A and B are shown apart, each in its own frame.
Chain A
Amino acid sequence: MDRREALFRYALRLGDDSMVLGQRLGEWSGEAPSLELDLALSNLALDLIGQATHFLGYAGEVEGKGRTGDTLAFHRDVLDYANCLLVEQPNGDFARTIARQFLFSLWRKGYFEALRGSSDTCFAGVAKKAVKETAYHLRLSSEWMVRLGDGTAESRQRVTEGLDWCWRFVDELFEVDEVTRVLVAEGVAPDPAALRAPFDVEVDAVLAHATLVRPAARRGVSGGRSGHHSEHLGHLLAEMQFLPRAYPDAEW
């Protein structure tokens, strides 16, 4: 695989992770348990969509076929989307949303901290900015993990189930494949597998504070990076892409 192809596919992964999770969090708008949480989750969504704008825009430039960030976001179908499976899962209840956010933000923070040192100036620049956003996302979701875990019997049960549901999608975050191998060798991307150990330590620390335990180890579900998505992504994209596809000349 040549460098340009790897770079393009890598930028898509980063962009699609942010795009899909931003879209999912946007679904909480108007539906969150409190006004404060409604704004918090919407702020998170906006941060993520901002990141997606940068990554997908860069992907279009690298590809060099005239596709923009918008074209990539709104005119690719499921098989061409490269997000991880964790972010496309339905929100479920608030506890499951928080569990997903906690795992994703914890992984992402370590990832972006390493990406700041990328030999690619665009990725390094976006990572520098995104680290601060992600630090807040992690703070918010960790604090909520603690309050749900060490809360009422109901909140504890819900967050335990939410965490258990999300756990099967964690291994995929640390996968290595051809794209990552090429870019790790070039100093563009951090080695995903190296981030697993610190991630596990951090997870255990927060879960201990939340009086929760790490879910039992199990075979991870994977395939998102190569376009093999769960059924859920199709529904999400159908809703997200309906307007630009139905009215391709629309501008606002």
Chain B
Amino acid sequence: MAQALAPRDWPLWEVFVRSRGGLSHKHVGSVHAADPDMAVEAARDVYTRRMEGVSLWVVPSGAITASDPADAGELFEPAEDKVYRHPTFYSIPDTIKHI
């Protein structure tokens, strides 16, 4: 064991669940655990009780870098009026079903 940690010192892990094959993992919450294997078990016990999914990811919360809400203006508002970036100007023939 790398180090022995009391429950109050267990790091936080963010939990992501994929509900079925082919979809993406969604963030569902967080757990405290001493190490990665315990984190997977904790996530299984806390977040998959009602058949929420088939796959779990746990990531140490410290590994996640989040955007600063104060920067939301400069990061995200410029995309609001750029309609040409959306793929909606193609006319797709009716015979093509899945695209």
Contacts and interface: CB of A to CB of B under 8 A. Distances in A.
Contact of B49 (A35, A43, A151): A43
Nearest to A143: B37
Contact of A140 (B33, B34, B41, B49): B41
Contacts of A143: 37-38, 41
Given A35-B46, A36-B46, A43-B49, A150 B41 contact: no
Interface in A114-153: 136, 139-140, 143, 147, 150-152
Interface string A166-186: 000000000000000000000
A36 B1 contact: no
Interface in A35-50: 35-36, 39-40, 43
Chain A at the B interface: mostly helix, strand, loop or mixed? helix
A147 B38 contact: yes
Contacts of A43: 45, 49
Contacts, number: 34
B31 to A, nearest CB: 5
Interface residues on A, range: 10 to 19
B12 to A, nearest CB: 11
Nearest to B38: A143
Contacts of A34: 7, 10, 32
Contacts of A136: 44
B42 interface: yes
A40 B45 contact: yes
B45 A39 contact: yes
B92 interface: no
Contact of A36 (B4, B33, B49): B33
Interface of A: 33-36, 39-40, 43, 136, 139-140, 143, 147, 150-152, 155
